[in-house]
DNA sequence: TGACACTGACTAACGGCATTAGTTATAGTG
DNA sequence: CACTATAACTAATGCCGTTAGTCAGTGTCA
C-alpha cells in the first residue's frame, strides 16, 4: 500500500489547526487528522507524541502566531493605543482561530515544558515592557497585567462560549471594557 | 444480581459533582459515576440522558448553587460593596467547585433549554438590578455587566488553568482587578 | 553499484468510553 | 394476587487512543 507519503510535522499541525478552528479543538482527534492526511492513525506517532503531543504542538503553533500578532500591535504611538491595539489583535486572533486559542490553555507549569512556556510568555512580556515604558510602577505591573489579561481573556471566552445573551453590540462592549481597564490601569498607578 | 438499588437523580448528580470537583469535569464520565454508585454504565440512562444529559444536570446544579451564593452577597449596604462581595463569592465558588464551574460553560442558546438558560441568567439578572438600583443608566448596564463578567470570569479561568506565572498574591490581584472595574463602572456612567 | 540501516508507512490487537437493544427481576398498584 | 412500570442487567457496536510488530521505499557509504 501507500508508503512514504512525504509527510512533515508542519503538515500535520496545519491540518490539525484547520480542523480545530473549523469544528473545535475536541474534533481535532488523531483519527480525524489522519483521515484528512490520508494515512492511518498509528502513523501519526512518527510525527507527534500521541494526542497530548499534538495538542502541545498546536499550543506552540498558536503561541507563536499570537506572539506575532501582538508584536505587530506594539508599533503604535501612545501606550494607550498600544494596549488597545494589542487587546483588539488578541481578540481578533481568538475569533479567527477559536480552536488554536483553546489550545493555548492550560499553560504548562514553569519547569515542565520550557519551549512552550517561553512561547506563551512572550506576549505577556511584551505587554509588561510596554507598561513599564509607560511609567507604570514596576511593582504594580504584575497586578495590572493580570487585570488586562483577565478582561480580555474573560471577554473572549464568554463570547466564544456564547455566555452573552444579546448577540449585538458585542464589539462595542469589548471596546468599552478594554478602555475602562486601560484607563484605570494607566491613571490609577502611574 | 443487584436490582433496585434505589437510586435517585440527586444521587447521581451528587456523585458526578464530587468527582468533577475532585478530578476535573472530564473525569466525571458515565463509567466513573456508575462505578462510584456501584452500578453498570447503561443503568445510568434510566436517570440521565447520556453524558450530555449528565453535563446538563451538572450545569443546572451549578447554576442553582451559584444563584444562591450570589443572592447572599446582594445583602450589603453600598452598591460598591454588593458588587465586590458578589465578585468574591463568585470566585470562591469557582475555586471550591472547579468541576461544577467548568460545567457552567458553554451556555445554551436562548431557545434551546429554557430551564437551564433561566437558571444561568439568574445571577446576571441580580447584578443588573443592583446596577440599575445604584443609578446606572439602564442603556449602559449591558456593557457594564459584560465588563464585570469578563474580569471575574477571565480571572478565575486564568487562575484555574494556571495562566498566571507567579503563584503569590493572586488574591490581591483579584481584589485590585475587581476594584478597578467597579470604580470605573460606577463612576464612568452613573 | 550494491548492501544496509533508517525512516515512515502499515496491520493487528487491546482497553476505555458512550451508546443502543433487548432481558429480567423487583416494587408498587389495581 | 396478578399486572404493569421501573430500574437494574447483559450483550454488542463503534469511536478513539495507544502499543507492538512488520515491511517497503529512501538515502548513504564502502
Residue B138 exposed, middle or buried by CB count within 10 Å (0-12, 13-18, 19+): exposed
Which pLDDT belongs to residue A20?
A: 98
Number of neighbours of residue A74 by Cβ within 10 angstroms: 16
- Ranges of residues in chain B with a pLDDT under 70 are 1-5, 167-168, 188-190
Distance set, CA B170 to CA B146, B155, B164, B166, B177 (Å) = 22, 9, 9, 8, 10
For residues A49 and A67, the answer to whether their CB atoms sit within 8 Å is no
Q: How confident is the model at residue A122 (pLDDT cuts 50, 70, 90)?
A: very high
Q: Say if CB B100 and CB B45 are below 8 A apart.
A: no
Three cell numbers at A9? 510535522
Residues 6+ apart with CB under 8 A from A108: A116, A117, A120
Chain A residues in contact with B98 (beta carbon < 8 A): none
Helices (H), chain B: 9-23, 30-37, 50-73, 79-96, 98-103, 114-133, 138-160, 170-188
- Are the C-beta atoms of residues B30 and B41 closer than 8 Å to each other? yes
Q: Pick A5 or B139 by higher pLDDT.
A: B139
| Mean predicted confidence (pLDDT) in A100-127 | 92
Separation between Cα atoms, residue B139 and residue A185, nearest integer Å: 25
Answer whether residue A2 shows pLDDT above 60: no
User: A183 in contact with B at a CB cutoff of 8 Å?
Assistant: yes
- Cα separation, B161 vs B80, in Å, equals 29
Any idea which residue has 476535573 for its cell? B24
Is there contact between A46 and strand D, defined as CB under 7 Å from any strand atom? no
Task: Supply angle C-alpha B86, B88, B89, rounded to 5.
Answer: 65
* Greatest CA separation for chain B: 67
Question: Chain B contacts of A164, Cβ < 8 Å?
Answer: 146
Q: Which residues, in sequence order, are CB contacts of A30 under 8 Å at separation 6+? A: A41, A44, A50, A51, A54
Q: Taking the model in full, what pTM does it have? A: 0.94
The rounded distance, in Å, linking the Cα atoms of B63 and B70 is 10
Reply yes or no on whether the pLDDT at A190 is more than 50. no
Q: Using CB atoms within 10 A of its CB, is residue B61 exposed (0-12), middle (13-18) or buried (19+)? A: buried
> Quick one: pLDDT at residue B188?
62
pLDDT of residue A189: 53
Contacts of residue B75, defined as CB under 8 A and 6 or more positions apart, other chains included, come to none
Give φ, ψ of B33 to 5 degrees.
-65, -45
Using the 8-state DSSP alphabet, how is residue B44 labeled?
A: G
Beta carbons of B158 and A173 less than 8 Å apart: no
Each residue of A20-68: pLDDT tens digit? Answer: 999 999 999 999 999 999 999 999 999 999 999 999 999 999 999 999 9
Query: Measured between CA atoms, how close is B122 to chain A, in angstroms?
Result: 12
Q: How far is CA A107 from the centre of its chain?
A: 11
Q: Please determine, for residue A128, whether its predicted confidence score (pLDDT) is greater than 80.
A: yes
pLDDT at A141: 87
The 10s digit of each residue's pLDDT in B72-90 is 888 777 888 989 999 999 9
CA distance to partner chain A, nearest, from residue B32 (Å): 20
Single out the residue of A120, A6, A110, A111 nearest to residue A56, CA to CA.
A120
- Sign, Cα dihedral of A5, A10, A12, A14: negative
A40 CB inside 7 Å of strand D: no
Q: How far apart are CA A20 and CA A100, in angstroms?
A: 7
Amino acid at each position: 500500500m501507500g508508503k512514504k507519503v512525504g509527510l512533515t510535522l508542519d503538515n500535520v499541525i496545519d491540518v490539525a489547526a484547520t480542523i480545530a478552528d473549523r469544528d473545535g479543538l475536541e474534533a481535532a482527534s488523531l483519527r480525524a487528522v489522519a483521515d484528512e492526511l490520508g494515512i492511518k492513525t498509528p502513523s501519526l506517532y512518527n510525527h507527534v507524541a500521541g494526542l497530548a503531543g499534538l495538542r502541545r504542538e498546536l499550543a506552540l503553533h498558536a503561541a507563536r502566531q499570537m506572539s506575532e500578532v501582538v508584536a505587530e500591535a506594539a508599533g503604535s504611538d501612545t501606550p494607550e493605543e498600544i494596549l488597545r491595539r494589542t487587546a483588539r489583535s488578541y481578540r481578533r486572533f481568538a475569533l479567527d482561530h477559536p480552536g488554536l486559542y483553546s489550545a493555548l490553555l492550560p499553560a504548562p507549569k514553569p519547569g515542565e515544558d520550557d519551549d512552550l512556556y517561553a512561547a506563551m510568555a512572550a506576549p505577556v512580556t511584551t505587554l509588561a515592557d510596554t507598561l513599564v515604558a509607560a511609567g507604570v510602577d514596576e511593582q504594580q505591573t504584575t497586578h495590572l497585567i493580570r487585570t488586562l489579561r483577565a478582561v480580555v481573556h474573560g471577554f473572549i471566552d464568554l463570547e466564544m462560549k456564547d455566555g452573552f445573551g444579546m448577540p449585538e453590540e458585542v464589539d462595542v462592549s469589548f471596546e468599552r471594557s478594554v478602555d475602562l481597564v486601560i484607563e484605570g490601569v494607566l491613571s490609577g498607578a502611574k
